[in-house]
Amino acid sequence: MRFHKECLHCKNQLVGRTDKKFCDPQCKSAYQYQQAKEQPERFYNKVDNQLKLNRKILKEYNKGGKVTVRDEILKEKGFDPNFFTHYWKNQKGDVYLFVYEFGFLKREEHNIGKYILVKWQDYMQKNIPT
């Protein structure tokens, strides 16, 4: 006895094995892509995407090694200071948050929020606890 089944993607009638689900590899790929898009974004992907965006923004604005930028400019681009990879504390007690090799420190001057952007330096390695 033969069952008439449809392709899960294009709904064409399938010919061949009884356990076949797709008419060709393109339909299988399109179906899996469609299923993945309908799934909510995984937490890991959200964090990874935000870290990548933060790094890209910090790299774009920190061409000189140490720069001051208004926080509204970075936030307009999608920067989120809650996502960082590590931190470094200087001798004054300021804590710089880093996204890989690009760091930032939040400052308030004359009621205007700013970020001091820095790039990781070799001397910063000395202050990391082991």
Do 34 and 54 reside in the same domain of the chain? no
Do 7 and 33 reside in the same domain of the chain? yes
In a domain, 85, yes or no: yes
CA distances from 4 to 9, 10, 68 (A): 15, 15, 67
In a domain, 44, yes or no: no
Do 62 and 28 reside in the same domain of the chain? no
This prediction's pTM: 0.68
pLDDT digits (tens, 9 = 90+) for 50-89: 999 999 999 999 988 899 999 999 999 999 999 999 999 9
CA distances from 86 to 14, 68, 101, 117, 125 (A): 53, 20, 9, 15, 12
Do 74 and 116 reside in the same domain of the chain? yes
Do 54 and 112 reside in the same domain of the chain? yes
Do 35 and 54 reside in the same domain of the chain? no
Host domain of residue 53: 49-127
The rounded distance, in Å, linking the Cα atoms of 13 and 7 is 6
